[in-house]
């Protein structure tokens, strides 16, 4: 395993996830229900599955579309999702 890559990805994802809607939803669920280990395991499993899908789809897309185009597409999608959230569509 490439430890440098592991640390780089870990730090990037950890920082990106701090304070996002997933963390806020998990905090809200934990405040409403005191079965914290169940909530932790469910939230962790969901994040692992979504990360797996991201890696698999990213690998497939990366074979077909150049990396710069993937970055631009992801940025545009991120902006559109943000706009939809502001407008209350998500």
Question: Residue 2 has which token pair?
Answer: 């490439």
> In this model, does residue 69 exceed pLDDT 90?
yes
Is 79 within 8 Å of 71 (Cβ atoms)?
no
> CA neighbours within 13 Å on the CB side: how many for 22?
15
Q: In the prediction, which pLDDT does 55 show?
A: 93
Supply the range of the domain harboring residue 54: 3-86
The pLDDT confidence band at residue 90, using thresholds 50, 70 and 90, is low
Task: Please give the model's pTM, rounded to 2 decimal places.
Answer: 0.68
User: Residue 88: left (phi > 0), alpha (psi -120 to 50), or beta?
Assistant: left
Average pLDDT, the chain: 90
Q: How many domains is the chain built from?
A: 1
């Amino acid at each position: 395993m490439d430890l440098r890559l592991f640390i780089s990805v870990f730090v990037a994802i950890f920082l990106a996830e701090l304070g996002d809607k997933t963390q806020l939803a998990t905090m809200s669920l934990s405040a409403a229900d005191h079965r914290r280990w169940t909530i932790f395991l469910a939230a962790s499993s969901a994040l692992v599955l979504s990360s797996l899908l991201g890696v698999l789809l990213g690998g497939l897309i990366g074979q077909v579309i150049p990396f710069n185009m993937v970055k631009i597409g992801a940025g545009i999608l991120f902006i559109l999702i943000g706009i939809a959230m502001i407008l209350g569509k998500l």
